[in-house]
Chains A and B, each alone.
Chain A
């Protein structure tokens, strides 16, 4: 079973990464995570929005309303602060993921701090 604390930052990384390519709305983000992760990571449909609101409040995302086919959607994009945050957390995640892989492969010289 995954530790909630250990994985709590995963949605943030995934969202920042996906939005760094192009602006998206909530439904698109959930679908993209499902497709890109080949359904290995399934984000709750409705619970993606509190994460988006928090990231926006922290200045990592920018939201704008956009009318599309008679409907008004809220699109999100990454800010400069969001891009910097993505670089930081992606680097941390890569180090942790490699450390975990080395342990699983039976390595003994692991120095990463989680």
Chain B
């Protein structure tokens, strides 16, 4: 028995915005249903080819199966209903929330260590600096990867995922981490007047800083955008 794969049906439903979990389960259930129909038809004594045809006909055409799902807008995912929010704004908000939590944790942790720990100050400062660097250089790449992975799963249009990932990497790339005189400072080239309370760094040439930011952001974004672009191109070619 050759089981139908329902690849086209799956693509059609995902592109129409039906939630990936619903699509995955629907296809799995249809396969099982087809299996049951096949056995029922086989028990009637039909030859295998005719049995397959009869089972597939009873299950319904791809059009019928798709329409019955698409007629239920409540099964559309939140990302399909609000792509600007989910792919455009949420990544930046998530990254900002995580980064803020990290800063708060580091500050309270630093204060605690200052009082109780015997860890040498320079090692502590180095650890905080590396953690900050991870949050402004590595985390944005991971967030972008998450955005693109989610967009791929949902077959979402590329505009909002790319916008969301670009904003996160640009904001993060604009931040410079510096450790001077026992303190770790953060500054951003996007807001020259902004500095954290412990900032040491000061960018005198705003234009150069901005150019560096854009270059850094491009590299960070390319790490996830290139694989995503290749995937989009392949999908467009296949369907």
Say if A and B assemble together.
Answer: yes
Interface set of A (CB-CB < 8 Å, partner B): 25-27, 44-47, 49-50, 53-54, 57-58, 63, 71-74
Residues in B whose Cβ lies below 8 Å from that of A46 = 30, 33, 59-60, 64-65, 68
Q: DSSP majority for the B interface?
A: helix
Q: Does B72 lie within 8 Å of A26, measured CB to CB? A: no
Please judge, given known A-B contacts A54-B72, A57-B74, A71-B32, whether A49 and B26 are in contact too, CB under 8 Å: yes
Please judge, given known A-B contacts A50-B72, A54-B74, A74-B25, whether A27 and B64 are in contact too, CB under 8 Å: no
Please judge, given known A-B contacts A44-B68, A74-B28, whether A57 and B75 are in contact too, CB under 8 Å: yes
Interface set of B (CB-CB < 8 Å, partner A): 22, 25-26, 28-30, 32-33, 35-37, 58-60, 64-65, 68-69, 71-72, 74-75
Please judge, given known A-B contacts A44-B64, A45-B59, whether A50 and B25 are in contact too, CB under 8 Å: no
Please judge, given known A-B contacts A54-B74, A57-B75, whether A73 and B60 are in contact too, CB under 8 Å: no
Residues in B whose Cβ lies below 8 Å from that of A63 = 25
Please judge, given known A-B contacts A50-B75, A57-B74, A71-B35, whether A26 and B64 are in contact too, CB under 8 Å: no
Q: Does A54 lie within 8 Å of B75, measured CB to CB? A: yes
Knowing that A26-B29, A27-B32, A44-B68 touch, tell me 7 more A-B residue pairs with CB under 8 angstroms: A26-B33, A46-B60, A46-B64, A47-B65, A50-B26, A50-B68, A54-B75
In angstroms, Cα B57 to Cα A98, docked, is: 37
